[in-house]
Amino acid sequence: MENIVRTKVKDLLKSEAGHDVLAKGWVRTKRGNKNVAFIALNDGSTINNIQIVVDKTQFEDCVLAKITTGACIGVCGSLVESMGSGQAVEIQAKEIEIYGECDPMRYPLQKKDTSFEYLRSVAHMRMRTNTFGAILRIRNQMAFAIHEYFHSKGFVYLNTPLITESDCEGAGQMFQVTTLNLEEALPRNKKGGIDYSSDFFGKQTSLTVSGQLEGELGATALGEIYTFGPTFRAENSNTPRHLAEFWMIEPEMAFYDIKDNMDLAEDFIKHLVEYALKNCYDDIKFLNDKYDPELIERLQSVIGTEFVRLEYTEGIRILEEAVKNGIKFEYPVYWGVDLQSEHERYLVEQHFKKPVILTGYPKEIKAFYMKQNEDGKTVRAMDILFPKIGEIIGGSEREASLEKLEARINELQMSRTNLEWYIDTRRFGSCPHSGFGLGFERLLLFVTGMSNIRDVIPFPRTPKNAEF
C-alpha cells in the first residue's frame, strides 16, 4: 500500500478513472449486502465522500467488522467510473488498512441525537460531522479572503497586543490577567485598593476587547492597517450572537472620513460574500439544502444590492412609526436609546429588506474616541446591520482634535494615566482617520446561515462554558 502516494478525496473526485489510488480517511457510513459493502469515506478535504466498493469475498471478516462509522482506514484500489448515481468515480478496494477502530457503542456521533445543542457538548468530535466540516472549511476560506482583500489594497497586517491595560470600548467588560495568588490575602495599597506593583506586569492588566487603539497608532504611521485576531469580552450576555472570545477584523485608515469608511466596509463585506459563493459553493449548498433553503438567495441578494445609509434619528423615527402601527417590541424606542437586536432587525428585515448602515448615533451610547458632530449630540459612528444578524460591523470616524478628545475623556471621567500614549496620536501630527470592526463569527453566521454563534467557532467560550 505504501508505494502509492495518498490522494485527498477532493482531488480523487475530480480525477479520471483508470488507475490505482490510495485514499485515507474516516468512515462515514457502511452499507451493502452479503457480497458487497459500500463505504462512504471522508477525509475533511471536501463535503463529498468517496465511495469504496468492497468485494467481501476478498477480505477477512475480522477486517470487515472493524470498518464501522468513525473508524479511520486507508484503502488502496483502482479508481473506476461509478455505476451508481451521485458520484462520477469510486474505488474498487484491493487492500484495506485499519488505522483506528471506533467502538460504535461509545462513539459520540453514533447517537440519534444530532441537535446542535448535543453536538456542542461533544465539540471535540463535532468537526467530524458534515455540517461542522462545511462550516470550518468556510471559516478557513473567509480568513484567507480577508487577508487577501487587505493585502491587495496595500494595508499592513498589524498585530496588536492581547494583554493590555486599556479598555478601548469603555464598557468595563474585561477579563483580568494576573499572576497574583488569589488563594492568599492580596497586597493592598495605602488607599485599601489592590497593590498591583507585585503583579506580573506591575499594573492591572486585562485581555483586550479590541485592537483599535493600537491600530490607530499603526494607521497614523503606516497609513492603512488591519488587525485580525481574538478579542475578549466578559459581557454576561447569553445570546445566539455573543461570545466571550471572538475574532475581530479591524481596519484603520488615515485620511478616510466616515463616507470613505462606509464605502470600504460595504465593499469589503460584499467581496467576502462573493468570495464565499465562489470558493465554498459545495459547502454552502450543503448548508442551504440541509438547514436554510434561502441561504444562497440571501447571500446573492447582499452582493447585488446597495446598502441603505440612514441617520440614527431617522431610524428612530421609522421605529416609532412602526410602534404606532402596532408593531410590538420588547424594548422601548426613543431618541437616545441603544438599539436592540429586535430594532435593528426590524429596520433591515421588515422595513428596508436590505442591509442598513446606521450613522450619527447619540454620543452617550458610543465610545469616547468617535468624531463629534457639530450638533454636540451625535457622533460619526457607523454600524452595519444585516438580515438575521443585526449588527455585523461597528466603526466610526475618529475624533482627530486633541481638544475635543480630551474634553470627552474628561467628561466621561476616564482614567488618563493609561491613555496618554493614545492621546499622543492627536498631539503629534494628528490626522483625520477612520476604522471599523467586523465580528468574524457574525460574518460566518451570515455566510453559513447558522443561527447560533456557538456553531461557527470550533470551541465557543460563553458564560459558564470553557470546555475543551
Residue ranges that bind Mg ion, judged by CB under 5 A = 394
Comparing CB distances to ligand 4AD, the nearer of 22 and 382 is 382
The residue assigned the cell 440519534 is 112
- Establish if 246 lies at the interface with ligand 4AD (CB under 6 A): yes
The only residue of 77, 360, 439, 449 in contact with ligand 4AD, by rule CB under 6 A: 439
- Kindly tell me which residue out of 243, 269, 356, 358 binds ligand 4AD, with binding defined by CB under 6 A: 243
Under rule CB under 6 A, residue 436 binds ligand 4AD: yes
Contact between 272 and 249 (Cβ < 8 Å): no
- Among 91-99, 141-149, 198-206, 235-243, the segment contacting ligand 4AD (CB under 6 A): 235-243
Alpha-carbon distance of 153 to 148, in angstroms, equals: 9
> Cβ closer to Mg ion: 275 or 446?
446
> CB 435 → ligand 4AD: shortest distance, Å?
5
Which of positions 56-115 make contact with ligand 4AD (CB under 6 A)? none
Q: Are strands 89-100 and 50-55 parallel, antiparallel or unpaired?
A: parallel
Residue 212 in the binding site for ligand 4AD (CB under 6 A): yes
Region binding ligand 4AD by CB under 6 A among candidate stretches 143-151, 244-252, 314-322, 352-360: 244-252
For residues 155 to 184, the per-residue mask of contacts with ligand 4AD, x marking binding by CB under 6 A and - elsewhere, is -------------xx---------------
Instruction: Indicate the residue among 40 and 419 with the shorter CB distance to ligand 4AD.
Output: 419
Tell me the closest approach of the beta carbon of residue 417 to ligand 4AD, in angstroms: 21
CB of 231 to ligand 4AD, least distance (A): 7
Closest residue to Mg ion using C-beta atoms: 394
The item of ligand 4AD, Mg ion, none sharing an interface with residue 169, based on CB under 5 to 8 Å by kind, is: ligand 4AD
Rounded to the nearest 10 degrees, how much is the dihedral formed by the CA atoms of 150, 153, 156, 162? -20
Q: Judged by CB, which is closer to ligand 4AD: 26, or 446?
A: 446
Shorter beta-carbon distance to Mg ion: residue 7 or 210 = 210
* 385/387 Cα distance (integer angstroms): 7
Residue 345 sits in the site that holds ligand 4AD (CB under 6 A): no
Q: Closest Cα to residue 348, out of 446, 457, 251?
A: 446
Q: Which residue in 96, 258, 393, 450 binds ligand 4AD (CB under 6 A)?
A: 393
Q: Is residue 210 part of the contact set for ligand 4AD (CB under 6 A)?
A: yes
What separation in angstroms does the CA of 164 have from each of 218, 225, 322, 409?
A: 16, 19, 43, 19
Does 233 bind ligand 4AD (CB under 6 A)? Our answer is yes
CB of 453 to ligand 4AD, least distance (A): 6
Interface ranges with ligand 4AD (CB under 6 A): 168-169, 210, 212, 233, 235, 242-243, 246, 248, 250, 391-395, 435-437, 439, 441-442
